[in-house]
Chains A and B, each alone.
Chain A
Amino acid sequence: MKDTIHTVLESDLLERYLTGETSVEESLRAEHLIGKYPEIEKEYEILQENLELFIRSYAVEAPEDLRKEIVSELGKSQAADDKKPVSWLFIAASVAAMIFAMATVTLWKQNKLLSDQNNTVATQIEDLKKDIVLTNSKLENVKSKFAVLNNPETKKYYITGNERAKNLKSVAYINSKERLSAINVLSLPELPKEKELKMWAEINGKMVCLGTLEQADRKLMALPFNEDATAYKITIESKGNNNFATIDTEVADIRFDQE
């Protein structure tokens, strides 16, 4: 450390720093050394004091009117500063800041809108997927029905009501090989509210309920198939009766062995 201090004091670094002759690197080094070593700091202090005394020896009385002029100039400068119009740079910065703020708000709104739209589209896509599944399901159903109708093994049975239900008209399709059966109800008679038309299959001498017959806008409805069935019957029953077919109320009958 002593060597460093000695070397610095012996060099002309401080003198050149005092006269402003040092490079940026040298100035930084000088400032570092002055800040680090009290001996060097003291030497620099003395140099500055000596410089001041040396320069003061050349002092010349400054004109008093110049003082007034300078102080007056300060007043003008201060007033000008106070009244200084807003600089173009400030205006530009303000405008830029406003544009930035507006752009930020606009972009945020657009982002929110797009996000909402994205959610809507996602929901619609989900709905469409469900629709596709449903449509595919319906298509499969139609295809299966078409397969029934188009199959050469399928037999077609025209069903018309007797005197109890003259208005009953329907067509049944049965394919015993493919174990498929369907019915297309074309028209149904008007029935009291507590009555309904039931479809039955005769299996080994017993009547098994296949369901309630309803007009469905000419749609083909699948029927449960049973290979042991020898006949289908339609009867007028009280609502809720699925246990036995009432022979007295039979309105139509299809016997497979008739073919």
Chain B
Amino acid sequence: MSKLLERTIIDHLKNRDEQGMNLLYDHYGDTLFGVAMKITKDEDLAKDVLQLSLMKIWDKIETYNPEKSKLFTWMFRITRNTAIDKIRSISLKTDQEIQIEVSDVYNLGVQGVNPEHMDIKKHLNTLEDKYVEVLEALFFKGMTQQEASEELNIPLGTIKSRLKIGLRELRKIFDPATLS
């Protein structure tokens, strides 16, 4: 996403201009909703998470420091943490009920994938599963490297190297020359 767009969105949000929220929704809504869906695996919960996250972004925009991270990185962390908090706040029983519905809800989500993301998805499929599972564990399941190591039954050193290599592989996959 261009820095000019980021700057425009930030300015609108700081000016308490609803146009900022509309721009945010247009350019990041699907991605952040995808994060919420991926973590909660429930459409209603994901809606709650997205609404909560966007309201947090609206309220906390003054605390955002562009020198520390890109706007997307900052918003992704907010959405991910909100989603993780949400599912952790639900009781185990409810959680189990949600798990039963996982496949259906997720399938709905997949059907709703924006066509413009399909290329990215197609390219991501070229990334080996061993990297994807580590990246998903760390980015979508709120696991630390140690927790991912225990969950996936992979040595911590391997988690570290797969994270590093996986992110580097993404660079090759998403290289503009490759995408074009």
A57 touching B29 by the CB < 8 A rule? no
Stretch at the interface among A48-56, A185-193, A234-242, A243-251: A48-56
Q: Which positions 70-121 of chain A face chain B at CB distance < 8 Å?
A: 70-71, 73-75, 77-78
* Minimum Cβ distance to chain A for residue B158 (Å): 12
Instruction: Return the CB mask of B135-172 against A: 1 if under 8 Å, else 0.
Output: 10011100011000000000000001001100100110
Distance in Å: Cβ of A40 to nearest Cβ of chain B: 14
* Given known A-B contacts A73-B55, A74-B58, A55 and B163 have beta carbons under 8 A apart: no
Number of A-B contacts (CB under 8 A): 128
A12 within 8 Å of B (CB atoms): yes
Interface SS, A side: helix
Measured CA separation A78–B109 after assembly (Å): 32
With contacts A48-B70, A61-B30, A62-B30 taken as known, whether A55 is within 8 angstroms of B117 at the C-beta atoms is no
Looking at A12, A21, A48, A59, which has the most chain B CB atoms within 10 Å of its CB? A59
In the complex, whether A69 has a CB less than 8 A from a CB of chain B is yes
Is B21 a contact partner of A70 (Cβ separation < 8 A)?
yes
Complex alpha-carbon distance, A221 and B100, angstroms: 127
Please tell me which one of the listed residues B22, B69, B140, B174 contacts residue A71 in the complex, with CB atoms under 8 A apart: B22
Measured CB to CB, the closest approach of chain B to A61, in angstroms, equals: 4
B76 surroundings in chain A (CB, below 8 A): 51-52, 55
Nearest CB of chain A from residue B17's CB, rounded to whole Å: 10
- Residues from chain B with Cβ under 8 Å of A45 in the complex: 70
A234 → chain B, closest Cβ, in Å?
A: 107
A contact residues around B145 at 8 Å (CB): 12, 16, 21
Is B77 close to A, CB under 8 A?
A: yes
On chain A, the residues within 8 Å of B54 by CB distance are 70
**Majority SS of interface residues in chain B?**
helix
Residue of A20, A71, A78 with most partner-chain B CB within 10 A: A20
Tell me the nearest residue of chain B to A72, going by C-beta: B18
B-side interface residues toward A, CB under 8 Å?
1, 16, 18, 21-22, 25, 29-35, 37-38, 46-47, 50-51, 54-55, 58, 67-70, 72-73, 76-77, 109-110, 112-114, 117, 120-121, 123-124, 135, 138-140, 144-145, 160, 163-164, 167, 170-171, 174
Interchain residue pairs A-B with the least CB separation, the first 8: A62-B29, A62-B33, A50-B170, A59-B34, A59-B30, A58-B34, A57-B124, A60-B34
Q: Kindly list 20 other residue pairs between chains A and B, CB separation below 8 angstroms, not including A56-B34, A60-B113.
A: A20-B77, A48-B72, A49-B70, A50-B171, A51-B72, A51-B167, A55-B35, A58-B37, A59-B117, A60-B34, A61-B33, A62-B25, A62-B50, A67-B22, A71-B22, A73-B55, A74-B21, A74-B58, A75-B18, A77-B58
24 cross-chain CB contacts under 8 A: A12-B145, A19-B138, A21-B144, A31-B68, A48-B70, A48-B72, A48-B73, A50-B171, A51-B73, A52-B31, A55-B139, A57-B117, A57-B124, A58-B31, A59-B34, A60-B37, A61-B114, A62-B29, A62-B30, A70-B51, A71-B21, A73-B55, A77-B58, A78-B16
